[in-house]
Amino acid sequence: MSGPKITAVLGPTNTGKTHLAVERFCGHASGIMGFPLRLLAREVYDRVVAIKGPKEVGLLTGEERIMPPGARWLICTAESMPTDRDAAFVAIDEAQLGVDPERGHVFTDRLLHARGYEETMILGSDSISGLVRKLVPNAEITRRPRFSTLSYAGAKKLSRLPKRSAIVAFSAEEVYAVAEMLRRARGGAAVVMGALSPRTRNAQVAMFQAGEVDYLVATDAIGMGLNMDVTHVAFAGLTKFDGTRRRRLTVAEMAQIAGRAGRHQRDGTFGSLGGEDAANVFRPEEVEAIEAHRIPRVEALYWRNSDLDFGSVADLVASLELTPDRPELRAAPEAVDLAVLKRLADDDMVSSRGRGEQMVARLWAACSLPDFRKAGPEHHSRLVQRVFQHLSEGDGRIPARWIADELARLDRVDGDIDTIGGRIAAARIWAYAAQRADWLADPAHWAGVSAALEERLSDALHARLTERFVDRRTSVLMKAIGRDLALLDVQIRDDGAVVVEGQLLGHLDGFAFRVDASAPASDRKQLLAAAERALGKTRSALVADLVAASDSEFALVGAALHWRDYAIASLARGKTLTTPHLINDRAIDALSEAEHDRIAARLDLWLKAEIARRLSALLDMSRAATDPATPPRIRAVLAPIAANGGFVAREELTTAIAALTPDDRATLRRAGLTIGQLDLFDVNLLKARVLPLLSALLTAAGRKPDPLALPGATVAADPRLGFRAFGAQWVRVDVAEKILRALHERRNDPAFAPDPALATSMGVTPETFAALLRAAGFRLAGQRWRYRPAKRPAPVTPAPGNRFAALAALGT
């Protein structure tokens, strides 16, 4: 070999080709490297800057230009590689992209013409080894084996994919659909598409690399040299629309994408998503070829003439449409720039101004403005036409006012993913224009403005993607599953909020966990299951606190038993009013048997103590009512009163009261029972500290209050708890008896006239007072009330010989 060294380093992905090239690049006095993606170029730029320093390294892409004075090492995209600059070392990465219909001619041109005066390195797939021998016969071909094994893992359902998987789809709609399913099932996914801005793609990839999400959904852009920590690549489909037709992926395309699985010495796997569609299943011969890295040889590369004739627009078009004269090359399909040029050739303004080599070259530069919006030649040509109009008049520059207005129109971060993505694409066009020093009066200023705008929009797009496709709460919990629960950071805030690994799950209401209301319905079951695992220790601590709690920490709210304001149990009907059954909250029933029993024992102890402390009078009454030593006449009175909570209307016990002897009455009075004219009650059970507990016991026994038994009632009193209705007002029974007792002391006085002032002083209205008098047996005669008690029923005596005669005798 003579002349500068040319080396072709070929092989599958994960062979260290790029790493080797960067080492050689830095070992020369100067160099130029071309990459297929701006994102990859930026990644390598950062690596070389760390070695050489920022003053020595430049970055050239369509929309970004970092060129320190005297920079000797340039990192570029393939399209931006300078062709008029000498460098000791030149490298072109992913040279097999010469088969790409849209950009292939650029890579072919660099393969044929980009040379370093000391060394040239061509990096790519082994599929182009035959073409390299023919097109660059003096190149030394070196093949590199893959560092790790790539093997087929078969078809897997989305829910069964291993962590650190990349799912590859071939349309934005399919990418979104897969990402949405992963958000629901696994907490989310990062999204990488060619349509995203480099900054957005960086942010999404960084999220995946940092482990914030374990899945990445991407288009086939993932195959273009992006270095990510992927262990498995799953193909959502094996067909794609290539701009002309829908076709099956080639084995080379499959291998390029599948090869992203596994990094360095770590093995990788590939497969497809589960499905019965034969079009989405790998064929045995395809699997064998990918695993063995036997990629079919590329027979030809796309080519377009780069030695252009700027004599006229027609000459330029003709030079661009020249056909190659070698069988290894084929004419590239008509690209957007050429299609736009042809459309503008018929425009009167363009044809009149586009004359002379300088102006035709300027027109071609305008036509080369990338169509990042994917608007198509017809629509894109309108923008190019206006750009050329400004470039061909006045000072030959784009007016600052126009670019300012265009950028201001795009400077909005509202809207959905597609809307913001469209603004970024438009902003990238102006970022490209700002890199042309001869197009703007102050290109550095507009480059900064457009870059700042793209950053703002890209950050907004990243936020939208994350908001839509990443549920950080579910993602954190999915990572926690399978880990030692002791390692989880579980926090219970003062308001009951449950925070695991910094993510709000929901709220702990006593022992019951409630999923956060903002969580989607589809995620609730999963969040609940994950939270239950994380709350084991917390609940055990709560059990210990409850068992050790003082009696003052418990309270009854209606028939519900509360601890620390949490409803933990409820009262239900028991054998007697004072022996209710405790039903624990379902969250307590879900605890371990030992914890459940400890809580049940503590609550039962508290309830018995509370009843003994507050309802001793009722307990005494109940015991006396069931004690065989108590005379039957007294038991006949006490039993219904005790069963009713200590209050009974006299009219319900008329017969039993009539059977009482004077001694019996004295015994009942000593026990605290009042035998009133209207009611029988124990005044000890009318105290405020007693009534809530008594109300809870009556509710548990099924004795529901009916405060609206009489229409027009104005006080929502509970008639079970010692109240009686008189017209529209409820009066406590002891107050009513006090009023009646005062009236009965003068009832035989002929001049007696009840004084309403007595009742008013006790909060009773005149209407209620009149109703009370009538209930007590008073009747209005003229203007005076007279006491006319109702006749008592004669006692029923069984006939001699009746089988109940002996029982009747017991009542005496």
Specify the pLDDT at position 356. 93
Report the percentage of the chain scoring pLDDT > 70: 86
90 HSE (CA, 13 A, CB side): 23
Contact 338, 320 (CB under 8 A): yes
Query: 701 to each of 479, 560, 723, how far by Cα in Å?
Result: 49, 13, 19
Contact 166, 337 (CB under 8 A): no
Q: Which residues neighbour 459 within 8 Å (Cβ) at sequence distance 6 or greater?
A: 199, 203
Q: For residue 711, what pLDDT band results from cuts at 50, 70 and 90?
A: very low
Q: Locate tokens 């086939």: which residue?
A: 220
Question: What is the domain class of 150-292 according to CATH?
Answer: alpha beta
Which tens digits make up the pLDDT trace of 114-123? 999 999 999 9
Across the strands, what pairs with 561?
Answer: 556, 569
3-state secondary structure 10-29: ECCCCCCHHHHHHHHHHCCC
pLDDT score, position 233:
94
Element (H, E) at 568: strand 566-572
Cα dist from 702 to 112, 556, 574, 576, 719, whole Å: 95, 16, 10, 12, 14
**Mean pLDDT over all residues of the chain?**
85
**Please, where in the chain does CATH 3.40.50.300 lie?**
5-143, 150-292
Residues 347, 350, 351, CA angle at the centre, nearest 5°? 80
Cα Rg of the chain (Å, integer): 46
Within 8 A by CB and 6+ apart from 417, the residues are 176, 461, 464, 465, 468
Phi, psi of 393 (to 5 degrees): -140, 165
- Contact between residue 147 and residue 265 where contact means Cβ atoms under 8 Å apart: yes
Q: What average pLDDT score do residues 471-491 get? A: 57
Q: Is the pLDDT of residue 486 over 80?
A: no
Distance separating alpha carbons of residues 108 and 90, to the nearest angstrom: 15
Q: Are 770 and 776 in contact (CB under 8 A)?
A: no
Q: Given this model, what pLDDT does residue 708 score?
A: 40
CA distances from 350 to 168, 183, 363, 387, 775 (A): 43, 51, 8, 11, 110
* Distance separating alpha carbons of residues 41 and 198, to the nearest angstrom: 11
Residue-wise pLDDT tens digits, 669-703:
998 999 988 899 998 888 888 888 888 888 888 87
pLDDT confidence band for 470 (50 / 70 / 90)? confident
Please give the single-letter amino acid code of residue 151. Answer: S
Task: Give bridge partners of residue 234 from the DSSP assignment.
Answer: 167, 271
- Asked if residue 477 has pLDDT above 60, the reply is no
Whole-structure pTM value: 0.64
Query: Rounded CA gap, 51 and 318, in Å?
Result: 46
CATH architecture of structural domain 5-143: 3-Layer(aba) Sandwich (3.40)
Going by pLDDT thresholds of 50, 70 and 90, the confidence category of residue 740 is confident
